[in-house]
Amino acid sequence: MHLLVLGGTRFAGRAVVEAALAAGHDVTLFHRGLTNPGLFPQAESVFGDRTADLAALAGRSFDAVLDVAGYHPDVVAKSVGALAGRTARYVFISSASVYADQSVPPVEGAPTLSDDSYGGRKAACERVVLDGFGDRALIARPGLIAGPYDPTERFPHWPRRLARGGRVLAPGDPADPAQFIDVRDLARWLVTTEASGVMNAVGETMPMAALLDVCRAVAGVPAELVWVPTSELLGAGLDPWMGVPLWIADPEWSAANLVDGSRARAAGLTPRPVTETVADTLAWDRARGGPVAGTDPFPPEREAELLARLW
């Protein structure tokens, strides 16, 4: 098939293009040429700014469009309008953050946000896509996306931290839920599935302790997990959402890692073993020399200060 990827040079988009090329598809990327512009010489790049117009794609048709970088409904509306009638399928990466109530396990069909938050804007983007393409659209709602080239540093923190060994601040309770999808599994599914509609594209939920145990085993370095209760972390002034990577202490988000992904898995989404995601993320992190200065969400000195003060 001839696929058009809107974006395609960062994290999820990068993985989508890699999966599409591996499957033998012809791929055209529409992007600004600012991030990794020469990343895929075997694919066609068309340069333009989707926030303004898609005139560079005028007169062209595609078998499917994969929108990996749509965050504002007015921008997505330009893409939907420009490509309506010129593609058979529109695949949109949304987010599980669209759900209005994150205190109960989110399932497809539950109410979504209608505000100007990240989740609210993603929900509005979904409506634009569905209005334009109906049953020819797939809306994928991932939660945390993990794997190599992750720019958020949330998941990479843990393989890197366990590889450093020593006393490791583990946030909350060992039984607290953790949930993610490997970016490569998400990408492969988006490229190969014929499913349509709205689907939560997530992996299975696992205890946080199990995830950290995998990180420790992959690193092969002695490390002591020091579990610091949520109440003490909050008392120390940590942000309940981003204070420690993957730790969620906001009661209104207590089910954010309990998203029901059964529909997508029934439609072929197959998560790889957690060990593989952890190992590959650690290998990538080591190859690049660790995070860019100032981007580590929980730097060693902050962790050491909290351990000395709290535990």
Band (pLDDT 50/70/90 cuts) for residue 8 is: confident
User: To the nearest 10°, the Cα dihedral for 4, 108, 246, 205?
Assistant: -110
| CATH-assigned architecture of domain 145-310 | 3-Layer(aba) Sandwich (3.40)
CA distance 192 to 268: 9
Domains 2-141 and 145-310 alike in fold:
yes
- Name which of 192, 184, 140, 168 is nearest 279 in CA terms: 184
Mean pLDDT of 114-118: 97
Running DSSP on this structure, what letter comes out for residue 97?
A: G
CATH of 2-141 given 3.40.50.10800, 3.40.1410.10, 2.130.10.10, 3.40.50.720? 3.40.50.720
What is the token pair recorded at 171? 């946030």
- Name which of 71, 73, 84, 187 is nearest 140 in CA terms: 187
CA distance 220 to 211: 14
Show Cβ contacts of residue 217 under 8 Å, excluding neighbours closer than 6 positions. Answer: 275
CA-based R_g, the chain, Å: 20
pLDDT of 311 higher than 90: no
Mean pLDDT of 260-286: 98
% of the chain with per-residue pLDDT over 90:
94
Domain extents in the chain = 2-141, 145-310
Band (pLDDT 50/70/90 cuts) for residue 53 is: confident
Mean pLDDT of 191-199: 97
Band (pLDDT 50/70/90 cuts) for residue 241 is: confident
What was the pLDDT predicted at 33? 85
